[in-house]
Structure 1
Amino acid sequence: MDTELTRSSVMESNGAAKEPARNGDRSANRDPAETDCDALLSVHVSNGNGDLAAEPYAPEQARNADRAANGDPGATAGDALLSVPVSCSSAVCRIKKELTEVVFWKVQLWKIIIFILLVMVAVIMISLALCTVIHKDVDDEFDSSLFKFPRYFNGSFQMPNMVPTEDLYNLSSNESQNLTADLQKKLSDVYSSSNALGRYFSRAEITAFRNGSDVTDYRLMFVLPEEEKESIGKFIVCREIVYNVLRQFLYDQEDDGLEYIDPRTLTMFLQDV
């Protein structure tokens, strides 16, 4: 009996001695390079006996990240990835510091950069404005005194809104003269504003209001330079172009008054000189 009691006491003593040693493993095996913060950051995992053991991976991983940031060849790829935020923030801080440096007097670098950009924009805008003002279109420069060769186009059109009256057919009456002036102005505006025919156009005339109908006769006069009358008369001031310019205008007009001209009734032919 005494032997069993003695053996039991010895086993209890051994067990009690081993338990503190297990609880102190973390302190006994602690890396001297670790700080108190590393110990707090260490991860505790459960071992097979149900006890908690300190995992030294987190502090070691932080140290490896620092090694990767400092260019240590022993660092791993994962360590390099962990170091990216630190380097990025350092680059941003470095750029901010460089931009806020004083170049001269109290002027900082970022102010000089903005000033240079504003000057460049102003120079570009001024250059564009000057080019627009100074530039002259060669086609707009011509000597009208050289235009001496006349070219006539005659034709007719109908005005459905026109009410035939005796005063209208009397060219000396106010009604006839007013309508004639309005129609001549309309035709003159059409050709004077034409890019192709404007320089050659001379005048438009209303020659007659046909008695008893809504048909009106007109004449268009163009003046061509003597030296180029053949080529211009063939390709520019020709019946097709003169006719189509007026016809397109009549299709674009609005039917809102006495001066409305039916484009379907427009006729035109070249008068031989």
Structure 2
Amino acid sequence: MDIEMQTVKRNGNDTVGHLKNGHNGDTMPSGRLAAEVFSTSQGGVLYRMKRELSKVVCGKVRLWMVLVLLAFIIPAVVLGSLAWCSAMYDDPDEKFDRSSFRVPRLFNGSFSLPGLTFTEDLLSVSSNQGRALAGNLQGKLSTLYKSSPALGRYFSKAEIYALRNGSVIAEYRLTFVMPEEHEEQLRNFTLSREMVYNVLRQFLYDQQGRDASSSSSLYIDPVSLKLS
């Protein structure tokens, strides 16, 4: 199509007003022509893209099929690699021989149970009521320290060795064992009095936001906690 541009003088300035079609002499507004040219260029780009994507790569496999396949394969490979690395990774801190833990580390303390009323049957932890209460408290302390990431491997046992009046006050003993080669470091840091005390105290404060209440028979008052 032959297009001839005609100029129109207006107020002394040359401006492009219309474009003349060489075939029939009709005039075409320049804005319309620009829109057609833009539309044609867009169609050309899309056509080229479709043509490129439809190219045969191998046999009946086309380029667009390869791209779609890669879009699924790459994320799957990445996720699979991460899962494999996670499974194969060995945490050095998880490798320890507990049979080499022979040095004992003992702590004594007490706490009160405001939800209980003291009776003469609690004077001895060997009585039926005393033995049941002591067993429940020992289980509670053992579960806590065994589940501690820092102290679990060193924890040996918890013992309630006395119950006395004052609501009910329980006196307890905690036993930890540690390897001799790290004894000094453990005494000063991981198995320090502050660490063992704070783990128990935090647990007691957390229980207030869970199912335990101050009226529960096994509720331990955090403020009453002592450890030495």
Structure 1 residue matching 2:96: 3-state secondary structure: coil
Given the alignment, which residue of 35, 57, 60 partners 2:23? Answer: 35
Q: 1:225 to 1:242 in 2, by over 3 A?
A: same
| 1:249 partnered with 2:210 | no
Structure 1 residue matching 2:185: 3-state secondary structure: helix
Structure whose residues are more often strand by fraction: 2
Match of 1:267 in 2: 226
Deviation at 1:233, TM superposition (A): 0.4
Contact 2:101/2:177 (8 A) holds in 1: yes
Paired residues, number: 205
Match of 2:67 in 1: 113
Q: Structure 1: which amino acid aligns with 2:201? A: R
User: Sequence identity, in percent?
Assistant: 45
Deviation at 1:262, TM superposition (A): 0.3
Contact 2:125/2:161 (8 A) holds in 1: no
Deviation at 1:124, TM superposition (A): 1.2
My pick for the range that moved more, 171-180 or 201-210, is 171-180
Match of 1:228 in 2: 182
Match of 2:55 in 1: 101
Structure 2 residue matching 1:210: 3-state secondary structure: strand
Structure-2 separation of matches of 1:213 and 1:117: 68
Deviation at 1:216, TM superposition (A): 0.7
| 1:147 partnered with 2:89 | no
Q: Cα RMSD (Å) of the superposition?
A: 2.4
Structure 2 residue matching 1:232: 3-state secondary structure: helix
Match of 1:160 in 2: 114
Max radius of gyration: which structure?
1
Q: Which runs of 4+ in 1 moved over 3 A?
A: 81-85
Task: State how 1:34-113 maps to structure 2 within 5 Å.
Answer: 34-36=22-24, 38-39=25-26, 42=27, 58=28, 61=30, 83-113=37-67
TM-score by length of 2: 0.81
Deviation at 1:88, TM superposition (A): 2.7
Q: Structure 1: which amino acid aligns with 2:130? A: S
TM-score by length of 1: 0.68
Structure-1 separation of matches of 2:165 and 2:126: 15
Contact 2:118/2:164 (8 A) holds in 1: no
Show CA shifts across 1:92-150 (max 9, x none): 11001111223333222111111122222221121111111111111111111221110
Match of 1:26 in 2: none
Task: State how 1:2-41 maps to structure 2 within 5 Å.
Answer: 34-36=22-24, 38-39=25-26
Structure whose residues are more often helix by fraction: 1
Match of 2:143 in 1: 189
Structure-1 separation of matches of 2:126 and 2:58: 85
Match of 1:129 in 2: 83
Deviation at 1:213, TM superposition (A): 4.3
My pick for the range that moved more, 120-129 or 153-162, is 120-129
Contact 2:111/2:224 (8 A) holds in 1: yes
Structure 2 residue runs without a partner (length 5+): 1-18
My pick for the range that moved more, 239-248 or 249-258, is 249-258
Structure-2 separation of matches of 1:219 and 1:96: 78
Deviation at 1:212, TM superposition (A): 6.3
Deviation at 1:155, TM superposition (A): 0.4
Structure-2 separation of matches of 1:117 and 1:265: 61
